[in-house]
Structure 1
Amino acid sequence: MRKKSSTNTLNKKNLEADCGMAYTMAILSGRWKLSILAFLIDGKLRYGELKKKLPAISERMLITQLKELQADGLITRIAYPEIPPRVEYQLTEKGATLKSILIELEKWGELHKEG
């Protein structure tokens, strides 16, 4: 955790403010965020469904990544007042604008990955 007033934090903030690519990479950085977004392209998913699609992710990490994506306005969390509780995640309008980018990243990765 860096201090908000550190030179490193201020440089990162300035770079993200001045460079769209740096801002995009900061929003999408995280081992699981791109996969979560890609799974949500096809529609709403419950927490358990996301967990099944990402079996190697820990509960804590999935919750953290979902909260960050929600805070950045890319996904929305829908909690239904039922017993047992039901929660679904879906892309927001802002998140849906990433669809073509995510598809192209997938194509590029398939074309260039080793093995």
Structure 2
Amino acid sequence: MSEYEHTCMIRGDGGRTLRAVLDRICNKWTLLIVATLDRGSLRFTDLHQQVPGISQRMLTLTLRNLERDGLVSRTVHAEVPPRVEYALTPTGKSLIPPALALAGWAIEHVSHMEASRAAYEART
């Protein structure tokens, strides 16, 4: 039995929980935001500038979801104008090692995958 099957059996939900978590952390922006916040807390504008290509709306939505899931904390400082900072929670920080492992795997295997794609395209 695979780890996935074992996890689904324990949870008894047919894999819904695992898919929901993977949907959150494997979307287009989450890992970029988490990696950026790994360097320290940032204000929204600074985070927006450091995550290339993300719109303000998508950054807002992603941060809201990450906060809801307990990966990011949002701190509002009582100043005029209000200052809001985002930081990784301990759970968010625990995502860094597996994310780095996945990034390393991707870097190690990207040339093989590209060659396989080219061969597949040539056959079809």
Range into which the TM-score falls when normalised by the shorter chain: 0.7 to 0.9
1:65 alignment counterpart: 62
1:7 alignment counterpart: none
- Residues 67 and 74 of structure 2 are in contact (CA less than 8 Å); yes or no, is this contact kept in structure 1? yes
Distance, in Å, in 2 between the alignment partners of 1:87 and 1:78 is 6
Question: Would you say 1:54 and 2:65 are equivalent positions?
Answer: no
Cα deviation digits, residues 52-89 of structure 1 (max 9, x gap)? 11231111111000001111110000111111221111
Distance, in Å, in 1 between the alignment partners of 2:73 and 2:14 is 28
Cα deviation digits, residues 65-114 of structure 1 (max 9, x gap)? 00011111100001111112211111111111112112112222322335
1:5 alignment counterpart: none
Partner of 1:88, secondary structure, is strand
Cα deviation digits, residues 15-59 of structure 1 (max 9, x gap)? 223xx4x34312213211110011111221111111111231111
1:83 alignment counterpart: 80
- Residues 30 and 65 of structure 1 are in contact (CA less than 8 Å); yes or no, is this contact kept in structure 2? no
1:29 alignment counterpart: 26
1:106 alignment counterpart: 103
Q: Percent identity?
A: 35
Which letter does structure 2 place at the counterpart of 1:40? L
- Count residues with an aligned counterpart: 100
- Residues 28 and 34 of structure 1 are in contact (CA less than 8 Å); yes or no, is this contact kept in structure 2? yes
Match of 1:38 among 29, 32, 35: 35
Question: Would you say 1:15 and 2:15 are equivalent positions?
Answer: yes
Which letter does structure 1 place at the counterpart of 2:91? K
- Residues 36 and 51 of structure 2 are in contact (CA less than 8 Å); yes or no, is this contact kept in structure 1? no
1:8 alignment counterpart: none
More helix by share: 2
Q: TM-score, normalised by structure 2?
A: 0.70
Q: TM-score, normalised by structure 1?
A: 0.75
